[in-house]
Structure 1
Amino acid sequence: MRKTTTTALTRRLAAAVALGSFLALAVPAGTATAAPAEPVPTVFFGDSYTANFGIAPVTDQDSERGWCFQATENYPAAATRILADNNITLGIQADASCGAALIHHFWQEQELPFGAGRVPAQQDALKDDTKLVVGGTGGNTLGFTSILKQCSDELRKHPLLPGEPVDPDKPAGECRDFFESEDAKAWLDYQFQQVEADLEQTLQRMSYFAPDAERVLVGYPRLVPKDTAKCLTAAPGQTELPFADIPKDALPVLDQVQKRLDDVMKKAAADDDADFVDLYDRTGSNTACDGANRGIGGLLEDSRLDLFGQPIPWYAHPNEKGRDIQAKHVAVKIETVLNR
């Protein structure tokens, strides 16, 4: 790893102050090296895009963690294999990713759906010897599912899909006008401020609890293409449009919100000297509307999972192709980080 003892101590002290803690800090040992020959102690964290909701089977199917819908073959697992093929071994200490996680579930326990229990704060997986922390979070704190439901009658009445409309009294067909209103702009501004503040705290907590760790924040793949006309055709073998009944004139709104989220995440990483995997900029040809090349499952397209005997829709999450794209770019970034 490239960090010197002074850098690690400085980062740990800064994080402790930011968290309101003035604990005695021990100076960790460390020397600058090339890509390590020994396994790199690694923790993955994040929400359903890290857990890869929709891909079967899921981990711990007989325990409460099964309600995290974390795929056994999620992108952390796939990226780990790619790196192993390049002679870089990750020693996975934990994959704490969990579907529906908000950013603050990095430091607070998460309540699971249907009264299935709780899972510990994701930061509990970090150890003093953790050398790499990787994952993505932010979309749920932003309220992206609420934005989707604001724009769709079909999603509003679907019993298995999370989220509530921003304003259920406003018709879904008028969502573009709604998001151009002052009230909606104020709501979005507030949501983005929360995302920015929570990401800052998350990155600082990583530095405090794992002072020698490299931190890699992973962004979200692009959902809506530049050419939204492609979204007016169902994918091969599908009957529903990729974005169901969301009006065509609202699709650019979804893309603008996602691009803004990407920018906020990128800035948060840069401001705290962390690394960022910009999937949005690398997946413009693999959106939900790219037919056979789609890396995103359509809103109402059946995923590989079912719940209570009913198929669960992808709800705009990466399918297997999208998972492989995530894994490829994450592996490239990790290799770059470990080799510098």
Structure 2
Amino acid sequence: MKTSVRAALAGALACGVLTTAIVVGRPDDHPESDPPSGPYVALGDSYTAGPEIPGQNGSPAGCERSDRNYPALVARRLGLPAADFRDVSCSGATVADLTAAQSTDRGTNPAQLSALSDRTRLVTLGMGGNDIGFASLVKTCVKSGVLNFALNGLKGLKDLKDLDADSGDAPCKDRYVSDGADEVEQRIETADERLAQALAEVRRRAPEARVYVVGYPAILPSHTTGCGDAMGLAAGDVAYLHDKEQQLNGMLRERAEKAGADYVDTYTPSVGRDACADRQVRWIEPLVPLAPAASVHPNERGEQGMADAVLKTLGA
């Protein structure tokens, strides 16, 4: 009996040691006090690349990467040598461009995942907005808002600010929501499926890397007032677009957790710094940028804020 007990205890102890060894060896279980270092590969779309923020560098030129975008700032903070940092983000990229070459008007960007290897130790991925067509969605909503303004002008409106008075005014939302079905919400669900496959491929190609999925900062405010002049949006559409971004970020967070990756929340620190905020504090430029940045994209302040959020999540 005693021999059996000893054997059982020995077996349990052996299993416990083995389990501990497996857990300690997992790349996604490093303590927060020991942030990952390079080699670092940055994957992403224009919110990662930083179009029109000086100085633009990298190849191809059509990807419009800035040397002050958040990946570059993170790499500098981590003290990585140039050989240990690769930024392959590209404006206009979708999840499909992770595994296939992307054509731009100034060159072709190789499949972004081709930058990964078993040497890679850190990966950030900021993507999903183009999969749901957020940029074209905003443009469509602006056109709807301007048309609505023109029609309402016949009723005595004097400027775009007056549109904010009607919080139920959402002409663009009416285009995408029909009989209870939301077309944009369906796009988010499709993007979720694609991202699941992409994250699995990231893990296969870079098994030792810590992976961080980076969410989007606040593009529009949660309230429906104050966006008339800056964005030309009807008040109800401000709320609609804000809610769609929240749903997108929620999907990115949930997908990251399911894939064993970490999620970087850039939204929370950017609240009150959206495209409709004062130019001295905003992270996102409005339709007509007043700082070097693309329309409705992060400016240099926004990229710095996103870098700070990434570094905080890394524990750096």
Amino acid at match of 2:259: D
Label 1:227 to 1:144 Cα distance change in 2 as closer, same or farther (>3 A): same
User: Cα–Cα, structure 1 residues 80 and 155, in superposed 2: closer, same or farther, change >3 Å?
Assistant: farther
Question: Once the two structures are superposed, what CA deviation does each residue of 1:266-298 show, in whole Å capped at 9, x if it has no partner?
Answer: 000011110001112221121111102111100
C-alpha spacing 1:31/1:333, structure 2 compared with 1 (3 Å)? closer
Q: Is it true that 1:328 corresponds to 2:316 in the alignment?
A: no
Q: Which amino acid in structure 2 is aligned with residue 130 of structure 1?
A: T
- Residue 50 of structure 1: CA displacement? 0.6
Amino acid at match of 1:261: L
| CA-CA distance at 1:58 after TM superposition | 0.9
Where structure 2 has 5 or more consecutive residues not aligned to the other structure, the ranges are 1-19, 147-168
Q: Is contact 2:177–2:183 with CA below 8 Å preserved after alignment?
A: no
Could you say which residue in structure 2 is the equivalent of 1:197? 193
Q: Deviations over 1:180-230 (max 9, x none)?
A: 3238x3422331122101111111111100001000010000111123323
Q: Note the C-alpha offset of 1:36.
A: 7.1
Instruction: Say if 2:170 is the partner of 1:187.
Output: no
Evaluate the alpha carbon distance shift between residue 143 and residue 9 of structure 1 in structure 2; reply closer, same or farther with a 3 A threshold.
Answer: farther
TM-score of the superposed pair, with normalisation by structure 2:
0.77
Q: Select 1:262's aligned residue among 249, 253, 269.
A: 249
Distance 1:118 1:325 in 2: 29
- Would you say the 8 A contact 2:45–2:94 is kept in 1? yes
Letter in 1 for 2:94: L
Alpha-carbon displacement from aligned partner over 1:228-270 (angstroms, at most 9, x marks no partner): 32324xxxxxxxx321x22122100110100000100000001
> Which of 61, 80, 86 pairs up with 1:66?
61
Does 2:292 match 1:315? Answer: no
The number of aligned residues is 274
Residue equivalent to 2:3: none
Task: Give the equivalent residue in structure 1 for 2:236.
Answer: 249
Structure number with larger C-alpha Rg = 2
Q: Which of 121, 129, 152 lines up with 2:119 in the alignment?
A: 129
Aligned with residue 209 of structure 1, among 205, 228, 231: 205
- Mapped to 2, the partners of 1:257 and 1:229 lie a distance apart of 18
Equivalent in the alignment of 1:21: none
Query: Offset of 1:141 from its aligned partner?
Result: 0.4
Q: Does 1:100 align with 2:92?
A: yes
SS at match of 1:201: helix
Secondary structure of the residue aligned to 1:152 is helix
Distance in 2 between residues matched to 1:80 and 1:271, nearest whole Å = 26
1:178 aligns with 2:175: yes
Q: Distance in 2 between matches of 1:199 and 1:182?
A: 28
Report the AA paired with residue 226 of structure 2: K
Structure 2 equivalent of residue 231 of structure 1: 227
Aligned to 2:39: 41
State the 1:154 CA deviation: 9.1
Cα distance in 2 for residues equivalent to 1:328 and 1:335: 10
* Correspondent of 1:295 among 283, 303, 312: 283
* 3-state SS in 1 of match to 2:292: strand
With over 3 angstroms needed to count, the CA separation of the structure-2 counterparts of 1:284 and 1:36, relative to structure 1, is closer
Q: TM-score, length-normalised on structure 1?
A: 0.72
How far apart in 2 are the matches of 1:278 and 1:70? 22
Q: Aligned-pair distance for 1:66? A: 0.7
Q: Secondary structure at the match of 1:276?
A: strand
Q: Which residue of 1 aligns with 2:74?
A: 79
How far 1:82 moved relative to its partner?
2.9
SS class of match (1:145)? helix
Deviations 1:311-333 (A, max 9, x none): xxx32111111111111111111
Check the 8 A contact 1:112/1:119 in 2, yes or no. yes
Counterpart-to-counterpart distance in 2, 1:48 and 1:229? 27
User: Any conservation in 2 of the 1:40–1:91 contact (CA below 8 Å)?
Assistant: no
Distance 1:216 1:260 in 2: 19
Structure 1 unmatched runs, 5+: 12-29, 157-171, 233-240, 306-313
RMSD of aligned C-alpha atoms?
3.1
Distance of 2:44 and 2:313 partners within structure 1: 17
Q: Cα offset for 1:176?
A: 2.8
Give, in angstroms, the shift of residue 94 of structure 1. 1.1
Amino acid at match of 1:201: Q
1:268 and 1:43, CA in 2 relative to 1: closer, same or farther beyond 3 A?
A: same
1:271 aligned onto 2:251: no
Return the offset for 1:303. 5.1
Give the equivalent residue in structure 2 for 1:280.
267
CA contact (8 A) 2:144 2:172 kept: no
Deviation at 1:8, TM superposition (A): 10
